[in-house]
Amino acid sequence: MKLNRREFLGRTSVTGVALACGGSKLATALAAQTPPNLAARSLGRPALLGGQPVRTRPFPGWPVFDATEERALLEVLRTGKWFRGYGEMVDRFERAYAELTGAKYCVATASGTAALTTSLGALDIGPGDEVILPPFTFIATYNVVVLNYALPVFVDMDVKTFQLDANKLDAAITPRTRAILPVHLGGAPADMDKIMEIANRHKVPVIEDACQSHLAEWRGKKVGTLGLAGCFSFQASKNLNSGEGGAILTNDEAFAEQCYSFHNQGRIRKPGAWKPEYSASRGSNLRLTEFQAGLLMAQMTRLEAQARTRADNGRYLTRALRAAVPGVVPAEEHEGCTFNAYHLYMARYLKEHFAGMDKAKFLKAIDAEGIPFRSGYSPMNRDAHVRALLKNRHYRRIYPPEVLDTWEERNQCPQNDLLCSQAIWFSQNILLGTHEDMDQIVEALVKIQKHAAELAKA
């Protein structure tokens, strides 16, 4: 007897145990351990082996926009004031983003990288200084450190949460440590209780890399407002998007003004600031444009609703995966996480639950089913270009041999190596769909798991 998906759901749900989330019929059915023969017939053969893909329709696209964005861009266009020194839109955005996040101050920047560069510039990080960061992050977190000829020091990851392991932070701090850059990876907060306790004890400032975590919360407070400052990216893939763009949040007025000055060629915030007597510090041009601020104001009208949808689908999918797919293990949240912004849906692929099929083959198989899981980051501390730092002529001049000779050893991150070998994820737009979309993700994974031995050999 061949059942279509609707019939399959109808039958299996009769005996199903409802999931805590009031789960869909499929999740319910899978939680009740659908008899293998029934599931096998209804799920069919893997697409990679010639079967029908589970999904052929696209997932929700990104960016989302309508006449709101058109109006915002036209408004800026028609003012003829396209630079923050002439217009008002960047100021408006800074006030709105600070208000939304509960921060006292916001300085908008040209990108997330520019936000981090500005923060490190305001702290006067330079040659001889050490900056702590996790290795499981986008390369920008590392680049902003080495651009200042400071020494990056990696602290290993916690594989369960995909966040920096704060238990290893204390041991990485030296008298030369000038900043800690924890990353809130994928939209979920790093362990900010432990990080802040250690940082405060050593009197080292924390600059949160919140580039992937707009609206995420730690114990009811928005990330980016917990350390000295938080840096955000509005690059095209991000949950808040103006193509490129960034912002710094802080509650420290003096630091906000230092950031403002650094991002504005070292000039202080004053009318007539082009006059040389208003130069206050080192600096650069890292300003956001009025057009980008207009786009951000428009995108912000949807930000909270989209965040709620992602969180709802993310939680729903996690419950379904835990019930139905051993071997695809969703990233856990720290106990202090009160809101996960889900820039990425992150999980670990454990091949021992898939007949030893390697991750590359698994990703090929799931992609063929129409589900775009991708591999996570590769081990940054092992990158040829990162290791080349030891041969860089400036680093050789700045750092004594004993510092460079022990650098690679200090930067060993075995848990990160493991995490990189297992990490898979998909991007936030997929979580803007429905529970049925999530069901199809689970369905495709169950199908691949069922045929894993055959796929592994193919």
Query: What does the alpha-carbon distance between residue 290 and residue 224 come to, in Å, rounded to a whole number?
Result: 23
Instruction: Fill in the DSSP letter of residue 25.
Output: H
Task: Say whether residue 141 binds ligand PLP (CB under 6 A).
Answer: yes
Residue 132 has φ and ψ, to the nearest 5°, of -95, 135
Closest CA to 290 of 102, 424, 92: 92
Measured from the CB atom, is 141 or 440 closer to ligand PLP? 141
How many residues does this entry show for the chain? 458
Task: Say whether residue 189 binds ligand PLP (CB under 6 A).
Answer: no
Of 28, 101, 212, 428, the one binding ligand PLP by CB under 6 A: 212
Query: What does the alpha-carbon distance between residue 151 and residue 136 come to, in Å, rounded to a whole number?
Result: 17
Q: 233 is written with which tokens?
A: 């990216």
Q: Considering only 31-39, 80-88, 133-141, 307-315, which stretch makes contact with ligand PLP by CB under 6 A?
A: 133-141
Measured from the CB atom, is 137 or 427 closer to ligand PLP? 137
Report the amino acid identity of residue 52: Q
CB 340 within 8 A of CB 187: yes
Of 46, 112, 283, 327, the one binding ligand PLP by CB under 6 A: 112
Measured from the CB atom, is 244 or 369 closer to ligand PLP? 244
- Other CB atoms within 10 Å distance of the CB of residue 175: 6
CB of 399 to ligand PLP, least distance (A): 25
CB 59 within 8 A of CB 430: yes
Task: Say whether residue 135 binds ligand PLP (CB under 6 A).
Answer: no
Measured from the CB atom, is 23 or 246 closer to ligand PLP? 246
Task: Say whether residue 209 binds ligand PLP (CB under 6 A).
Answer: yes
CB of 138 to ligand PLP, least distance (A): 4
Residue 123 has φ and ψ, to the nearest 5°, of -85, -5
Q: Considering only 63-71, 132-140, 149-157, 446-454, which stretch makes contact with ligand PLP by CB under 6 A?
A: 132-140
Q: 27 is written with which tokens?
A: 């999740």
CB of 107 to ligand PLP, least distance (A): 14
Measured from the CB atom, is 137 or 318 closer to ligand PLP? 137
Task: Say whether residue 211 binds ligand PLP (CB under 6 A).
Answer: yes
Task: Say whether residue 246 binds ligand PLP (CB under 6 A).
Answer: yes
Query: What does the alpha-carbon distance between residue 132 and residue 349 come to, in Å, rounded to a whole number?
Result: 28
Task: Say whether residue 113 binds ligand PLP (CB under 6 A).
Answer: yes
Measured from the CB atom, is 345 or 362 closer to ligand PLP? 345
Measured from the CB atom, is 113 or 163 closer to ligand PLP? 113
Query: What are the CB-based long-range contacts (under 8 Å, 24+) for 363-366?
Result: 363/424, 364/48, 365/46, 365/47, 365/48, 365/448, 365/455, 366/444, 366/445, 366/448
Place of tokens 């329709």: 57
Q: Considering only 40-48, 105-113, 411-419, 444-452, which stretch makes contact with ligand PLP by CB under 6 A?
A: 105-113
Of 138, 373, 425, 426, the one binding ligand PLP by CB under 6 A: 138
Measured from the CB atom, is 94 or 439 closer to ligand PLP? 94
Task: Say whether residue 313 binds ligand PLP (CB under 6 A).
Answer: no
Task: Say whether residue 140 binds ligand PLP (CB under 6 A).
Answer: yes
Q: 214 is written with which tokens?
A: 């707009």
Helix pair angle (112-122, 139-146), 10° resolution = 30
Helix (H) or strand (E) holding 180: strand 177-180
CB of 114 to ligand PLP, least distance (A): 7
End-to-end CA distance of the chain: 28
Measured from the CB atom, is 29 or 133 closer to ligand PLP? 133
Task: Say whether residue 235 binds ligand PLP (CB under 6 A).
Answer: yes
CB of 125 to ligand PLP, least distance (A): 16
Task: Say whether residue 233 binds ligand PLP (CB under 6 A).
Answer: yes
Measured from the CB atom, is 34 or 292 closer to ligand PLP? 292
Measured from the CB atom, is 173 or 211 closer to ligand PLP? 211
In the β-sheet with 229-233, what is the strand arrangement from edge to edge?
A: 105-109, 246-250, 229-233, 207-209
Helix (H) or strand (E) holding 346: strand 344-349
Query: What does the alpha-carbon distance between residue 166 and residue 147 come to, in Å, rounded to a whole number?
Result: 25
Task: Say whether residue 111 binds ligand PLP (CB under 6 A).
Answer: yes
Q: For residue 233, with 0-12 CB atoms within 10 Å meaning exposed, 13-18 middle and 19 or more buried, which class applies?
A: buried
- Could you give the count of Cα atoms lying within 13 Å of 418 in the half-sphere of its Cβ? 11
Of 34, 119, 137, 411, the one binding ligand PLP by CB under 6 A: 137
Which residue spans within 200-307 are E strands per DSSP? Answer: 207-209, 217-218, 221-222, 229-233, 246-250
Of 123, 131, 157, 183, the one binding ligand PLP by CB under 6 A: 183
Q: 289 is written with which tokens?
A: 């444009």
CB of 180 to ligand PLP, least distance (A): 15
Residue whose beta carbon is closest to ligand PLP: 112
Q: Considering only 91-99, 106-114, 297-305, 371-379, which stretch makes contact with ligand PLP by CB under 6 A?
A: 106-114
Residues in touch with ligand PLP (CB under 6 A): 111-113, 137-138, 140-141, 183, 209, 211-212, 233, 235, 246
